[in-house]
Amino acid sequence: MRNFLTIILSLLGFFAISQNKQILYGFDDVPQSLMLNPGMKVTQKKHYGIPFLSQIHFNGGSSGVSVYDIFKDGNDNINDRITKKIFEMKNTDFFTATQQLEIINFGWRAKNEIYFSGGIYQEFDFITYFPRDLAILAWEGNRDYLNYEFDLGEISTTGDFMTVYHFGVNKQITDKLTVGARIKLYSSMFSYRSVDNTGTFVTTLGDENAENIYEHTVRNADVTVETSGYASLRELDGSAQVTSEILGRAFFGGNLGVGVDLGFTYDINEAFTFSASAQDVGAIFHSKDVESYRAHGDYTLNGINLVFPPLNQGESTFPYYNNLEDEIEREIPIDTLHKSYTQFRPVKFNAALSFGFGRFNSSGACDCLNMGGGTLHKQNVGLQFYSIFRPKGPQMAGTFFYHRRLTEYLSAKATYTVDSYSFSNVGLGVSADIGKFNVYIAADNLIKYSNLAKAKSVSLQLGFNIIIDEE
């Protein structure tokens, strides 16, 4: 238990959060920005991602606690800090980790001016809300919480490991409007979720007529864990077999799903541009290798009632304990079900309003007085909005950004983001072209880089591409 806690606490802050890629969104120097808005303006003629290196993305976070909160050097006791945090945090606080690895990514502009793009990436996505009541129960026990109803419904967690195959089209359909769509096929390798749970557990002091000192009551319990891709792994021997089985599912061997990304970019006038996109509008249909566990019912435990039956020599008394176990299993049965289920993907929504100024030309000199000209702006400032649908509702973030093309070969984007984690998240992305070779890196929470332990979330994307520009 202690090791488990240590691992969970250590993970906080080392991965980044909620899939927000605020730096990459609209960062048109990087081909992967097309993955965030299939309807963005594409500036290149062709791009090829370097296989396995075109995008490496980590994102992790915890809304209520940082590594520093727990592990800071100090004279106070670590257990006191944990106790304090458990009581400070709310049941809507959450921990997330997301990781993506692009296996291949490519795109080209066809003769009909449609920019086609496609590829394969692998994704791991995990979120768990903080089950505050259960944490209190585990941490403190029930002695000081008589009559307090511990909420079993606070258990809310999902985890997915999948491969995504995608193909998208993008076209500028008028002078002002560019639209795009991307179809996605999901191959789920492993998935679990436990959401929409209910129930309470309470210990009350019995009155005069009560059978025993206390009554331990579970009321309206209905707790379900759905898994897919798990049951068959149990029978495997060793991690090597498990790994090879999971990887085998990467190529359409798992549970399949479909989804779509949609997006557009609209030039309101020569300076203002509005863009928006929705990603992963779709679902995975879990039908193979599904196994769900459901515990439901009501039960009051009073202890063991001895009846002192008159016994003859050699006769044994009632199997009180086994009877009690049977009774609990009867009242709160744990059913194992093999029922297919549909899991909607967490839909992500992005929007941005940007104001561009300074015409960008290949010489790199700022023609700052030319506010129009129809080509790329040298500088852009604007606002972005991001939201992702999670089990307990959407999580949102707002970003202020500044994007500057420094030279033909180098551009940068700085962001300031307000989200569930903090009000002080500053990020920076840089994209450099060395010949046809493009390299980019984007990271947020830079203010916390002097001490990452204080960061509640970290996000990092980096990758390498080959970009062939328009002639």
Partner 1 sequence: MNKSLSLPIFAVCLCLFFTACIQDTNFDQAEDIALTPVVELDLIYFNLRADQFFDTINSSPILTVRDTTEIKFLDDSSLQESLKRAEFYFKFTNSIPRTFQVDFQFLSETNDTTYVTGTSVAEGTLAAPIITEFIENVEGDDILQITQANKVVVSVTIPSSDENLEGTLNLKSKTTYFLEY
307 binding partner 1? (CB under 8 A): yes
With CB under 8 A as the contact rule, the residue among 34, 155, 443, 466 that binds partner 1 is: 443
Q: Is 134 exposed, middle or buried (0-12, 13-18, 19+ CB in 10 A)?
A: middle
d(CA 317, CA 333): 26
- Residue 25 Cβ vs partner 1, minimum distance, rounded to whole Å: 19
> Any residues with CB less than 8 A from the CB of 363 and at least 6 apart, and which?
none
- Residue 105 Cβ vs partner 1, minimum distance, rounded to whole Å: 21
- Residue 343 Cβ vs partner 1, minimum distance, rounded to whole Å: 33
Nearest residue to 120 (alpha-carbon basis) of 176, 177, 52: 52
With CB under 8 A as the contact rule, the residue among 56, 89, 137, 271 that binds partner 1 is: 137
* Residue 248 in tokens: 């085998």
* Residue 166 in tokens: 């995608």
By C-beta, is 238 or 309 nearer to partner 1?
Answer: 309
Bridge partners (DSSP) of residue 301 are 216
With CB under 8 A as the contact rule, the residue among 110, 173, 177, 304 that binds partner 1 is: 304
Nearest residue to 33 (alpha-carbon basis) of 141, 123, 105, 104: 105
139 binding partner 1? (CB under 8 A): yes
82 binding partner 1? (CB under 8 A): yes
439 binding partner 1? (CB under 8 A): yes
With CB under 8 A as the contact rule, the residue among 53, 258, 260, 410 that binds partner 1 is: 410
By C-beta, is 9 or 290 nearer to partner 1?
Answer: 9
241 binding partner 1? (CB under 8 A): no
d(CA 312, CA 328): 30
d(CA 31, CA 467): 8
Nearest residue to 351 (alpha-carbon basis) of 399, 310, 304: 399
Region 348-377 residues binding partner 1, contact defined as CB under 8 A: 364
d(CA 259, CA 261): 7
Helix axes 132-140, 78-88, angle to 10 degrees: 150
By C-beta, is 174 or 316 nearer to partner 1?
Answer: 316
d(CA 278, CA 67): 33
Region 40-79 residues binding partner 1, contact defined as CB under 8 A: 67-68, 71-73, 77-79
d(CA 211, CA 318): 19
9 binding partner 1? (CB under 8 A): yes
Q: Is 173 exposed, middle or buried (0-12, 13-18, 19+ CB in 10 A)?
A: exposed
Identity of the amino acid at 336: T
With CB under 8 A as the contact rule, the residue among 220, 241, 342, 407 that binds partner 1 is: 407
- Residue 182 Cβ vs partner 1, minimum distance, rounded to whole Å: 29
432 binding partner 1? (CB under 8 A): yes
Nearest residue to 105 (alpha-carbon basis) of 57, 162, 163, 47: 47
Say which residue the tokens 């500088």 belong to.
379
* Residue 205 in tokens: 């002091």
Our measurement of the distance from residue 346's CA atom to the centroid of its chain's CA atoms, rounded to an integer in Å, reads 8
- Residue 387 Cβ vs partner 1, minimum distance, rounded to whole Å: 27
With CB under 8 A as the contact rule, the residue among 317, 340, 342, 424 that binds partner 1 is: 317
203 in Cβ contact with 145 (< 8 Å): yes
453 binding partner 1? (CB under 8 A): yes
28 in Cβ contact with 42 (< 8 Å): yes
- Residue 370 Cβ vs partner 1, minimum distance, rounded to whole Å: 20
306 binding partner 1? (CB under 8 A): yes
Say which residue the tokens 């967490």 belong to.
346
Region 184-213 residues binding partner 1, contact defined as CB under 8 A: 203, 206, 210-213
With CB under 8 A as the contact rule, the residue among 89, 428, 436, 464 that binds partner 1 is: 428
313 binding partner 1? (CB under 8 A): no
By C-beta, is 385 or 464 nearer to partner 1?
Answer: 464
- Residue 318 Cβ vs partner 1, minimum distance, rounded to whole Å: 8
Region 140-159 residues binding partner 1, contact defined as CB under 8 A: 140-144, 146
Nearest residue to 470 (alpha-carbon basis) of 27, 108, 32, 118: 108
216 binding partner 1? (CB under 8 A): yes
437 binding partner 1? (CB under 8 A): no
How many residues interact with partner 1 (rule CB under 8 A)? 70
With CB under 8 A as the contact rule, the residue among 11, 185, 332, 441 that binds partner 1 is: 441
Residues that bind partner 1 (CB under 8 A): 1-2, 5-6, 9-10, 67-68, 71-73, 77-79, 82, 137-144, 146, 203, 206, 210-214, 216, 301-310, 316-317, 319-322, 364, 406-410, 412, 428, 430, 432-434, 439, 441, 443, 446, 449-453, 460
